[in-house]
Amino acid sequence: FLFFVCCRALIFPLLIREGKPTPLFTFVLALLFCVFNGYLQGRSLTTYATYPPGWLADSRFITGILGWLIGMAINIHSDHILRNLRKPGETGYKIPRGGMFEYVSGANFFGEILEWFGFALACCTIESLAFALCTLFILGSRARQHHK
């Protein structure tokens, strides 16, 4: 979880090219959401979640971790495709090709949704499921808009 947050917050912004500016209000809302969610997930896992002995070998945990890793790989690869969609100075709409974009129009969104449902399955907490559902509804609506 911490690895993803660091990548998304620190590395990803350094990799993107010039684009549309983000309104301050949107940035503040996103920051507040990430801080609250990070606190909620961390508090849940360190204070309230209890796991039986052998949990790391449980099929739910293993399946969840695999889903998280596959989702993260899809997400990172899709972001790479999107970052390199246009040449410097080029404008206009282009349809991404390659990777999961051959199967879904919002491959980056699909990867992130898969990531967080994998995380929820591995953790088996209400808080992680709530985050996965929020991700599904927020990114699902964005994916639908992008598809249109």
Contacts of 49 by beta carbon, 8 Å cutoff, 6+ apart:
123, 124, 125
pLDDT of amino acid 32: 86
- In the predicted structure, residue 87 carries a pLDDT above the cut 70: yes
First-to-last alpha carbon distance for the chain, in angstroms, is 31
Q: How far apart are CA 119 and CA 125, in angstroms?
A: 10
Q: What is the pLDDT of residue 9?
A: 58
- With a CB cutoff of 8 Å and minimum separation 6, the contacts of 5 are 34, 38
Q: How confident is the model at residue 10 (pLDDT cuts 50, 70, 90)?
A: low
Residues in the chain: 148
pTM, two decimals, is 0.82
| Residue ranges of domains in the chain | 59-86+96-147
How many whole angstroms separate alpha carbon 59 and alpha carbon 43?
Answer: 24
Q: For 47-81, what is each residue's pLDDT tens digit?
A: 999 999 999 999 999 999 999 999 999 999 999 99
Mean pLDDT of 2-21: 60
- In three-state secondary structure terms, 138 is helix
State residue 24's pLDDT score: 84
